[in-house]
Amino acid sequence: MNDLSHQTAASVLETDVVIVGAGPIGLFAVFELGLLDLKCHLVDILDRPGGQCTELYPEKPIYDIPGIPVISGQELTDRLLQQIKPFHAQFHFGEMASALKKLPDGRWRLSTDAGTQIVAPVLVIAAGGGSFVPKRPPIAGIEAYEGKSVFYAVRKMEQFRGRDVLIAGGGDSALDWTLNLAPIAKSLTLVHHRDGFRAAQHSVSRMRELVNEEKIDFHVASVKALHGDNGQLEAVTLAGPDRKEWRQEANAFLPFFGLTIKLGPIADFGLNLHENLIPVDTAKFESATPGIFAIGDINSYPGKLKLILSGFHETALMVQAAFHICRPNEKLRFQYTTSSSSLHKKLGVA
């Protein structure tokens, strides 16, 4: 009797491959697996697909996807979803992959915090940096404003049209959103605790130009207090380097103080992690545990670059090895999507 014997058939889902993470790389894995007739389920803590692309920079342009000169994080996600449509992957959103067990028949059983159990011969971890949590600035009572007038990410730029926006921080997110929101905000003020930035130099230069043109304000200052009612911000208290304080009107506050990445339960999957990353070989992108693969930002190998492009490449190689585990008695024939009529059929373009 195997480990499933005590459960009802309905409570355990069975598939070829279970993927942790529906970021761009997890989504592309659905496509590559689908071409080989491998079915999959994806689990993601977020409530929608896209990972960092949709969570952190949905409207920012990406310029280094081969063949696509410019595409936003959201558009790339939408196009990946369109590309994987023929393969009918099953998504489990809002669920944390929380436990992993090897079954006596050699397959893996992944459990989520919502009670879903998925059994598959192959587990693919495409969990990026894990679940990312924005760093909350140490300002008393800020929780009451979060999601109403204090935001740690920009989901829809339109939300800030005509508002008095205050941005705090000195990294890429703070500078990028300063430049992107300046044309639509009623007023925009950037504050940073020093007159030096970690952001890309061209963004800093452009920000300084906007200050010179009196289109935005910049202060070397820290936010000391928030003022408002029912979560709606009306003003903030700022303090300069000389500790002099002043009140400034603002009805939207975007603190960009970085993200804390929490790997979460994957750390307990017994994967021989190195600095919270999963070491893999570069032929198959398999971890040290046979049957468990890691692709995208979560893996590490000599020369690794955390780019979408790298994750796509890793995925194409990973599925070749995954196929042999899922279909040990079948031969794998290499085929081009341009010329294979069997691939055309799978893609619904025959």
Nearer Cβ to ligand FAD (215/306): 306
- Closest approach of Cβ 42 to ligand FAD, in Å? 9
Q: Which residue is nearest to ligand FAD (CB)?
A: 128
Which 287-316 positions form the footprint of ligand FAD (CB under 6 A)? 296-297, 306-309, 311
Q: Which of 134, 100, 106 is nearest to 20 (CA)?
A: 100
Least distance to ligand FAD from the beta carbon of 318, Å?
Answer: 12
Query: Rounded to an integer, what distance in angstroms lies between the CA atom of residue 208 and that of residue 192?
Result: 13
The minimum distance between CB 84 and ligand FAD, in angstroms, equals: 13
CB of 234 to ligand FAD, least distance (A): 30
Q: How far is the CB of 269 from ligand FAD (least distance, A)?
A: 9
64 touches ligand FAD (CB under 6 A): yes
- Could you give the dihedral angle defined by the CA atoms of residues 99, 103, 108 and 113, in that order, rounded to the nearest 10 degrees? -20
Would you say 8 and 123 are in contact if contact means Cβ atoms under 8 Å apart?
A: no
SS3 322: helix
Q: Is 58 in the site for ligand FAD (CB under 6 A)?
A: no
Show the site string, 97-126: x = touches ligand FAD by CB under 6 A, - = not: x----------------------------x
Q: Is 25 in the site for ligand FAD (CB under 6 A)?
A: yes
* Contact flags string 4-23 toward ligand FAD, x per CB under 6 A: ----------------xxxx
Q: How far apart are CA 330 and CA 285, in angstroms?
A: 21
CB of 180 to ligand FAD, least distance (A): 12
Alpha-carbon distance of 228 to 250, in angstroms, equals: 10
Compute CA distances 114 → 5, 50, 118, 133, whole Å: 20, 21, 12, 20
How many Cβ atoms from other residues are within 10 Å of residue 140's Cβ? 9
Angle between helices 73-84 and 24-35 (to 10 degrees): 20
Among 56-64, 149-157, 232-240, 327-335, the segment contacting ligand FAD (CB under 6 A): 56-64
Residues 30-49 that bind ligand FAD (CB under 6 A): 43-46
Examine residue 324 and tell whether it contacts ligand FAD (CB under 6 A).
no
CA proximity to 152, closest of 45, 260, 282, 60? 260
Could you tell me how many residues of this chain bind ligand FAD (CB under 6 A)? Answer: 36
Q: Does 129 bind ligand FAD (CB under 6 A)?
A: yes
Give the single-character DSSP code of 331: -
> Which C-beta is closer to ligand FAD: that of 223 or that of 298?
298
Token pair of 32, please? Answer: 């590559």
What are the Cα distances from residue 11, in Å, to 2, 5, 114, 299, 340?
A: 15, 11, 12, 31, 38
Nearest-approach distance from CB 128 to ligand FAD, in angstroms: 2
Give me the DSSP letters along 6-30: TS-GGGEEE-SEEEE--SHHHHHHH
Contacts of ligand FAD in 157-216 (CB under 6 A) = none
- Residue among 128, 169, 255, 291 that touches ligand FAD (CB under 6 A): 128
Query: What is the binding site for ligand FAD (CB under 6 A)?
Result: 20-26, 43-46, 51-53, 56-57, 62, 64, 96-97, 126-131, 264-266, 296-297, 306-309, 311
